[in-house]
Structures are given as structure tokens and as C-alpha cells.
Structure 1
Amino acid sequence: MLIGSKIKRLRLKNGLTQEELGARTDLSKGYISQLERDMNSPSIETLFSLLEVLGTSPKEFFDDDIKNLKVVYTPKDHTIHVDKDAGYEIDWLVSSSNEKEMEPVYLTLKENGQFKRFEPSLAETFIYVIEGKIRLTLGQQEYIAETGDSLYYEASDHHRLTNIHQGISEMIIVATQSYL
């Protein structure tokens, strides 16, 4: 088993350089580089130390994640929530999106519907309006988007989506996870 590429993938996923990973595990950058290129093999103690810093367990590390990798999500994988009072329906398109970097959803706003008010965060949000016309209130600013338009913003202020179309508005929203 080649573990070097797995270590590198986890290091990059955690946003660490080889030097940073080495500093956190008392290993040199050169040694980390050799491990990632499978030119050296770590002792069990060193491997466990690396896995702890990289936020994974030995079991997760050695599981064949390629077999368990889910790529296609069908409608049966979706989770749907309807809020009749607020006038929206949200469809989480990827069932495990709360564990991933991005959270894609399909949002339908009924006439005069509003999606909940969000608190400021470090998230970034992309919206593509499939049908209708919406208003994004971002802090004190308002932005209007209609069929075919896209919005992209940092969620660093309070924000809310409102349907201003006579009829329903539908959109795809992809938000990055907030790491506060």
C-alpha cells in the first residue's frame, strides 16, 4: 500500500505545508517530502502522530476510501425541508454536504417567500437564479437578480433572500462551510 499520496492528500486538505506538518510532528520537511513520495516509510508511532495532526484515525486512513467514495447523488439521497410559514422549500442536493467544503442546495421560494436570515460568517455563497426574481439583502445593501442571473458574495454580514416575483422563484445555491 502506498501511503504517501494519502498523507499528502490529507495534508493539503488541512491546508498545511510540508514544513508546517513537520513542525507539528517534530519531523523535517525533507522527511515529510520523502514520505509523500513513498521514498521512506514511517514507524507506527510516527504514522499515528501524523494521523492525529491530520485529523484522522488509523481505521479511516486505511479504509479503502475509493470504494466508499460517493460521487453521484440521486434524488433519493436528497433531504428536503418545507417551511410553509416562511414560504420556502429547501432541497439539500448532497446528503453529506455538512461534512464537505461546499453545501449545494435547490431553493424554491413561494410568492412573497423569504429564506431565513443568516448571521455573518466566513462562508462564501454562489446563487444561480433558475426562475423568478429575488432580492438579496446583505447588511444594508439590496441586490436584485432574476432568471439567468448569478450572485456571488462573502457572507460577512447578515443576509436574507426574498422572492419578489409574482409566482415562485427557484435557484441553486452553493455555500462554502463557515469555519468560525
Structure 2
Amino acid sequence: MTAQEERQEATSNPDQILGALMRQARKDRGLSMHVVATKAGLSVGLISQIERGLTSPSIRSLRLLADAIGVPVESFFTDVQPDVSVDEEAQFIVRPANRRLLDLRRAGITMQITTPRTRGDLQMFLTEIEPGAYSGPELDTHDGEEAGVVMAGQLDLWLGEKRFHLFEGDAFRYRASTPHRYGNPGKTVTRVHWVYTPPIY
């Protein structure tokens, strides 16, 4: 069964879609799970669970796996509305129907890319975090800067050993080399418009 057939079969399960895309990308490059696990510093068992759609990776784990396989993270995003065509304005404008989506169902996080598909110096995301959901237990680091504004709900943001509690309307910016993670401590969905520079997805 091809990745496209698996995606059609699993349209109601985003974890299965992500797993199928990741498995196909790994196989296309002739990589075993063991090789990817070694490169990413993750267990073969975790990769197997992700590829079978049994769990959602943390944001950090997803980035490590994409790097280990040799693909951009955005290759694991799917179109919000697959049948919507992309026209000539798409190099400048992103309509809601043309966004690409990463749905980490079990992790309680969804991310929609709100920048055009053309390459640039920054990348924007509309991130939704379910109550009690977090980006992962580990602190993450990478190059560049991150900034954003909380559009709705509450956000816990860890920068090193400091935890900041943000509310709707609060904004932030930090060097991404600072160990960081985030989560939703509230009882309603948190929506954050996030900016990364340079693009890491």
C-alpha cells in the first residue's frame, strides 16, 4: 500500500497519516528504523509506535526525526483542505483553505503554517494547544529566534529554569538557543500565533 493510499484510508486518524508519511520518507531514503533512531537519539520502539500511528511525537522529537531522515518537518504537514487549488497569489498570500496542517492528536497540539510555500527568512504558525497539553517533557533548543502572541487562552512558557504564565494578548520573543518548552495550563484551548526565524520546519 502506498503512502497516498494509507493516507486516504486513515483520513480520520491524523497520527496514522503522520506515521505513514514518516515511514514512506524513511523507506524512500533506504533507512532502517535503527539507523534513524541512532541519528535522532530516540528509541526504535518510539519510532515504531509513531509510524504505526499509535502515538504522537513531541515537537522536539518530530524535528529530530525529520533531521535524521533528511526531510524538512513541513513534509509531514498536510493540506487543511486537500482539494483546494493553489493559484498564482500563493507566493504572497495564504488563505485559510490553503494552510498546511500538522495534527498531533495524542499530544493535543495542532499547527497550521500561515506563511506561503515559497522559502523566506521566517515562518509563521497558528498553534492550538488543548487543555493540559504540552510541547513535550524535554526542553528544546535550536538556532534563531522565536516570537509570538497569545490569541486565546493561557500559555505556560519555560525559558531555561524560568516559567512565565501568559494570557490572551500577551506576546513574547526569545533566542531559540535558550532551552524552552510550552503548554496549556488552562481549561480552554490556547491559540498562539508563532513566528520562527530562520524557518525550522
Scaled to the shorter chain, the TM-score interval is 0.5 to 0.7
RMSD value over aligned CA atoms? 2.2
Aligned to 1:148: 169
TM-score, reference length from structure 1: 0.56
Q: Give per-residue Cα distances to partners, 1:125-167, cap 9 Å, x unaligned.
A: 1110011111111221111110010011111122111001111
Aligned to 1:15: none
Q: Structure 1: any 5+ residue segments left out of the alignment?
A: 1-66
TM-score, reference length from structure 2: 0.50
Q: Which amino acid aligns with 1:100?
A: G
Q: Structure 2: any 5+ residue segments left out of the alignment?
A: 1-87
2:122 paired with 1:102:
yes
Equivalent residues in 2 for 1:1-180 (5 A)?
A: 70-96=91-117, 99-116=119-136, 119-177=140-198
CA distance in 2, matches of 1:69, 1:91: 15
Percent identical: 17
Runs of 4+ with deviation above 4 angstroms = none
Q: Which amino acid aligns with 2:109?
A: Y
CA distance in 2, matches of 1:107, 1:176: 16
CA distance in 2, matches of 1:129, 1:68: 28
Q: Give per-residue Cα distances to partners, 1:71-129, cap 9 Å, x unaligned.
A: 111123211111121111111112426x3211100000001011245632221111100
Aligned residues: 112
Q: Highest Rg: 1 or 2? A: 1
CA distance in 2, matches of 1:80, 1:121: 22
